[in-house]
Each structure stands twice: as structure tokens, then as C-alpha cells.
Structure 1
């Protein structure tokens, strides 16, 4: 039977207690990290594009560290970027881009320096809280 370990870093207790989800769950040698956003320990949205990107990665780092992992252990990253542009007409050709993608990639490269994960990015219209612009979800695999 698989061993399930809930990972709740210091400062993220409210996510489990109030919102009923785990920042991370470790099963055997795999860590599943819930989508992390640019909110501080007081659940306040960080202002500014780059500071919000940094905070989201720092929140991922907190979960990794609490589980005994690093960014080198991350094998998959999925990101959701708010475009602020809902679809106009279904089926119509649309050319939306992800805002600030180059800046996001620069911040990402500060955290992933050698073992790069797979990465899928989505452009979306909104996240759970007004003002949030990115959410980062990861899977990490520990060495045997």
C-alpha cells in the first residue's frame, strides 16, 4: 500500500484548515504540489508582475523544502497565466498571447538552473482571487 504524507509548510496552514486542500501530498517517492500563486503568508496578493511571479515560485519552493525536495526534483510543471481576454465567439480564430511570458521565463530560470522539467502553460481568463496572474503546479520525483 502506498504511503500518503500531507505536506503543509509553515505559513500555509490556512490552506488546509480553511480551504480544505493540501499544498502538497507525497506518495512514496512522488510529490504532488497544488497550484501555487503569488500570495504571501497573510493570503494577500503580491502587487507587481515580477514580484508575483517570484512569490509563486517561492511558494512552490516552500512546499518542496517541507517535503525534502528541491527544484532539481521537479519533473513536471503546469502553469496557468491570466490573459484577461475571454473567448469572443466559439470556433472563431483568435490570436491571444500570454502576457509577460518572457519575464515569467526569466524568473523561472532563476529557480530551474540545471534539471529542467516538462512544462505546459495555459492562457486562462481568471484565477480564484482577483489580482492573481499566474498559478504554478508541479510534480517532483525523489531519488530512490
Structure 2
């Protein structure tokens, strides 16, 4: 039986210890990544719409790398947006990061507030599958 393994990249220990959730959980060859927001390693909000989107993708990459995966292993992407008018900019940023492999399934959802605090505009949740 595959036991769940918490994935906690360096710099995200506070998420696990203080906020009490795993940045990702790996079960077998599947990685379930918690929603990543535009927060830096000091757990501070990154300023600027595009900068927040970039930081969320950088955080997603970091979590995946810590689990032995990359963005090319993502099969399902769910994004939450406080302003759906940002979708065009988000897709431009996304397309800089998702450049190899088949494109993942994607669901975009409008949300009132993200990250448990005002100011966050995007959250990215993903499922990745490693090859057998």
C-alpha cells in the first residue's frame, strides 16, 4: 500500500508547522499540490498582479521539484481568481511555465478572497503524476 508522504520544500516549513497543512502530499506516483499563492519565502505577499502570478507558479515549481516532479508532470490545474478579468494576464504567465508535455486539464474559479488575507489575487492547485 502507498503511504501518503508530506512534501515540504525548504522555505515552506512555516506553512506546515504554523498554518498546519502540507504544501503537497505524494501518494505513489501522484502528487497533490495545495493551492500556491503569491507569497514569498518570508511568507509575505508579493506586490503587483503579474508578480503574484509569477510567484505562485514559482512556488508550484518548488513544491513539485521537492516531490521529484516538474510542471510537465501536471495533469490537472485548478486556479482561483479574485478578479476573472485577470484571466488573460494569468494565461500569458501560465503559458510561460507550461511549455512541455501535454497541456493539463484546467479549471478557473472566481473567488472572493484567497490566502486567508486581503491582497492575494490568485491561487494555483495542481495534481501531477510521475511516470511509472
Regarding TM over 0.5, the answer is yes
- For residues 100-143 of structure 1, give each alpha carbon's deviation from its aligned partner in whole angstroms, at most 9, with x where no partner exists: 11110010001101321000000111111110000000000000
User: For structure 2, which runs of at least 5 residues remain unmatched after alignment?
Assistant: none
Instruction: State how 1:36-47 maps to structure 2 within 5 Å.
Output: 36-47=36-47
After superposition, the CA RMSD in angstroms is 0.7
Shift of 1:77: 0.3
- Corresponding pairs, count: 130
The TM-score with structure 2 as length reference comes to: 0.96
Which of 87, 95, 99 is the equivalent residue of 1:109?
95
What SS does structure 2 have at the residue aligned with 1:125?
coil
In 2: Cα distance, 1:46 partner to 1:139 partner: 24
Which portions of structure 1, spanning 4 or more consecutive aligned residues, are displaced by more than 4 angstroms?
none
Could you tell me which residue of structure 2 aligns to residue 134 of structure 1? Answer: 122
Could you tell me which residue of structure 2 aligns to residue 18 of structure 1? Answer: 18
The TM-score with structure 1 as length reference comes to: 0.88
Rg larger in 1 or in 2?
Answer: 1
Higher helix share: 2
